Amino acid sequence: MAQTLFITGTDTGVGKTVLTALLTRFLRAHGIHATALKPICSGGRNDARIIFAAMNGTLTLDEINPWPFRAAIAPALAAQLEKKSVRLAHVVAHIRATRKKSDVLLVEGAGGLLSPLGEDFDSRDLIVALRATPIIVAANKLGAANHLLLTLAALPKNLRARAKVVLMSPPKPDAATATNEKLLAQFFLVENIFTLPWLGKNFEPATVLKNPRVRKALAALVAI
């Protein structure tokens, strides 16, 4: 069975899609057949298109993102506005079918861990159903430690032990940017905490992956 990595976050806009695209390109560059999905999204399909580009057409946009919704609100509410239904069993079935064709499957959630995705389920429910390794993304700034510890506490104990944390540095660091990793290490395994530098305003995976610091962090994150 393919390894399944589930990229979730402390909030929306923290860098989940950036990390998903980077990891996909990085793994594929190392000869690993990695595929990525963003099964559910709301507020447009820009995130799914970024993932589509990272795979050079391996999957269609509709395979990557079968449940897109227009309103920029929680997907469960956006689906209701369009009078559509998203059920956990259907999403899990789609992900498992894609996993059979992959060495590593990356699945990006929408919003934070507990943001409602469909009819009575969220990213936590998907992680549990898929037995995936959670990767929690947070903006590396003041408040990140609290948000990350709350997110970790919301995971079942067995998944919390396997979880990994990625701190995405902002364009303008604050006083917490340089200290968050050390602070988190007091509560969480330091070997499962990773920090990425600011990746630029106009994100381009091929360019970013030329940065040795980025490559080193990604290699450690996926253990290759």
95-125: per-residue pLDDT in tens?
999 999 999 999 999 999 999 999 999 999 9
Mean pLDDT score across all residues of the chain: 96
Percent of the chain with pLDDT over 90: 94
Summarize the confidence of residues 116-138 as an average pLDDT. Answer: 98
pLDDT band at 1 (very low <50, low <70, confident <90, very high): low
**What does pTM read for this prediction?**
0.97
179-207: per-residue pLDDT in tens?
999 999 999 999 999 999 999 888 889 89
**129: amino acid identity, one letter:** A
Summarize the confidence of residues 23-41 as an average pLDDT. Answer: 97
Q: What are the catalytic residues? A: 38
Phi, psi of 202 (to 5 degrees): -100, 90
List domains and CATH numbers for the chain: 3-222 (3.40.50.300)
Residue 106 to residue 94: CA distance in whole angstroms: 13
Three-state DSSP state, 6: strand
The residue whose two tokens read 């946009």 is 61
Q: Where are the beta strands (DSSP E) in the chain?
A: 3-9, 34-37, 40-42, 67-69, 104-108, 116-118, 121-122, 133-139, 164-168, 193-196
Summarize the confidence of residues 44-69 as an average pLDDT. Answer: 96
Residue 201: the pLDDT is 81
64-73: per-residue pLDDT in tens?
999 999 999 9
pLDDT band at 224 (very low <50, low <70, confident <90, very high): confident
DSSP state of 132: P
Residue 202: the pLDDT is 83
End-to-end CA distance of the chain: 18
